[in-house]
Amino acid sequence: MPMIINGGQAPVPTDARVSLLDFVREHLELFGTKKGCNQGACGACTVLVDGERVLSCLALAVQYEGREVTTIEGLGSGGALHPLQQAFIDDDGFQCGYCTPGQICSAVGMVEEVRRGVPSYVTDDLADTEIELSHDELRERMSGNLCRCGAYNGIVEAIADVYAEQGA
């Protein structure tokens, strides 16, 4: 069974060693997803699998046979940017841009987690599934994505803007 990548099909590699990150970049030549630390510490390689954010550097491609993988290239539609991509531009959510695809994929997955009511480390009441994406919640939930330029204020602003527009 092939993997579904950004709506298209791709056979998974026969070598079990190939990470999902290397598969996407080197085999499929989708270079949007970035290799930062390659050890699960920076979040630059974040992609969505069946809508959930994961680290592609710690995933073996062979494990994702038949699954639906979305990279930054698959977020927009018909040449139009995803609202978060536009918001990152409008709100100066990056300087060098290296962490940006991971930040945006992560934020897309994060918003779904909030809508589902997944608690975070800073959620006061665990019984509460109507989570308000406060500044503290947003920062905590995005803490798996590092930005060495320190564009965090713009990143938080971009995500908060789109989230506020779309509502929870």
Contact residues for another protein, defined by CB under 8 A: 15-17, 19, 38-40, 43, 46, 52-55, 58-60, 62-63, 106, 109-110, 113, 116-121, 123, 126-127, 139-141, 143-145
- Decide whether 90 or 117 has the Cβ nearer to another protein: 117
CB count within 10 Å of CB 64 equals 21
Rounded least distance, CB 97 to another protein, Å: 20
Tokens of 129: 């599934």
Amino acid identity of residue 84, one-letter, is L
Continuous H helices in 13-151: 20-22, 83-90, 100-116, 135-141
Cβ neighbourhood burial of 10 (10 Å; 0-12, 13-18, 19+): middle
Rounded least distance, CB 43 to another protein, Å: 6
Amino acid identity of residue 154, one-letter, is G
Rounded least distance, CB 17 to another protein, Å: 6
Residues near 28 by beta carbon (within 8 Å), at least 6 away in sequence? 5, 10
How does strand 3-5 pair with strand 68-70?
Answer: parallel
- Decide whether 6 or 103 has the Cβ nearer to another protein: 103
- Decide whether 52 or 90 has the Cβ nearer to another protein: 52
Rounded least distance, CB 79 to another protein, Å: 28
Rounded least distance, CB 152 to another protein, Å: 12
- Decide whether 80 or 126 has the Cβ nearer to another protein: 126
- Torsional sign, CA 148, 152, 156, 161: negative
- Decide whether 78 or 121 has the Cβ nearer to another protein: 121
